Amino acid sequence: MKAADIMTSNVITASPDDRISNIVALMLEKKVSGLPVVDAEGSVVGMVTEGDFLRRAELDTQRERKRWLEFILGPAKAAADYVEANARRVKEVMTPHPVTVTQYTPLNDIVTLFEQNKIKRVPVTANGKLVGIVSRVDLLRALSKQINRPTLGSDASIREQITAAIAREPWAPPYIPTPEVVDGVVTLRGTIFDATVREALKVLIESVPGVREVHDRLILVEPLSGVIIDQPEGQSGRN
C-alpha cells in the first residue's frame, strides 16, 4: 500500500500569517493535533502542532532557566524561548521545512519516517503542492479495514495458506506438523523449543484470513535437557 491509498485528501491547513489564537480554535473545532502550513501557492512551508503551544506565557508554562545556564546559552536562546512563549503568528512557532512524502511513498517508508523523526503526520505533495496528509489515524483506519475485511475460503485453503506462511518465515520451525483446520478453527500440534516462537506461530496463524480461533496443543520442551516445560492438559511423559 502507498500514501495515496490511505491519505486524507481534504486537508485542513494553516497559513504562515494566521494568528495563533485562530489556529488553536480551529484545531479544537476540527479535533486535530497538527496542521500543515502552506503558502499562497499551495506549497508546504511548515507544520504546526499541539507541541508548539506547550510553553506559553498565558499558561505560565514558559521555559525558566537558571541564570548561569542562560549565560552559557547566550541571548539568542533566551530570545527564541521568548518568541515560543509569546508568539502571535503561526510562522513564529511552526516547524519549517517539514518531512514530506509523495503519493507513491510505501506505507512502510512512512512508518519509518514517523519513528525516526518522532512525528505523527506527514504531508503528501505532488509537484511541490499539498495534495493530502497521512497521519497515525489514517494508518489505524487502514489497519481496521484489513483486520475486519470479509474472508471466504475452505478449511483446505486456510490450511494451505498457513503452511505457506510458516514456510516463508525464517524463524518458523520446519518440523511443525501441518495444522488441523475445522470450520476455521486451527489446532496446532507438535513440539516447540522456544516460547517466543510458539507465540509468533499463533500470531501468524491468527492473521491468516478465515481463521476464527487457534487451539494451542504445542508441547514446549527445554532444548538441552529435553524436559517438558509446558504441555496440553491430559498429556504426560517425556519428549
pLDDT at 239 over 50: no
Q: What is the pLDDT of residue 118?
A: 92
CATH class of the region 155-230: alpha beta
Distance CA 131, CA 122 (A): 11
pLDDT of residue 235: 43
Ordered by start, the domain boundaries in the chain are: 3-146, 155-230
pLDDT exceeds cutoff 90 at 116:
yes
Range in 73-77, 89-93, 100-104 the model is least confident about: 73-77
Of 63 and 180, more confident: 180
Residues 6 or more apart whose CB falls under 8 angstroms from that of 189 comprise 177, 179, 180, 217, 218
What is the structure's pLDDT at 49?
Answer: 94
Query: Which cell numbers in the block locate residue 8?
Result: 486524507
Query: How many percent of the chain have pLDDT more than 90?
Result: 59
Kindly report the backbone phi and psi dihedral angles of residue 47, in degrees, each rounded to the nearest multiple of 5, phi listed first.
Answer: -135, 140
pLDDT at 104: 96
The answer to whether residue 75 scores a pLDDT higher than 80 is: no
Strands (E), 11-55: 34-38, 44-49
Over residues 154-170, the pLDDT tens digits come to: 889 999 999 999 999 99
pLDDT of residue 66: 72
| Cα dihedral 88, 92, 93, 99 in deg (nearest 10) | 140
> Cα–Cα distance between 20 and 121 in angstroms, integer?
20
Assigned CATH for 3-146: 3.10.580.10
DSSP track, 88-116: -BGGGTSEES---B-TT-BHHHHHHHHHH
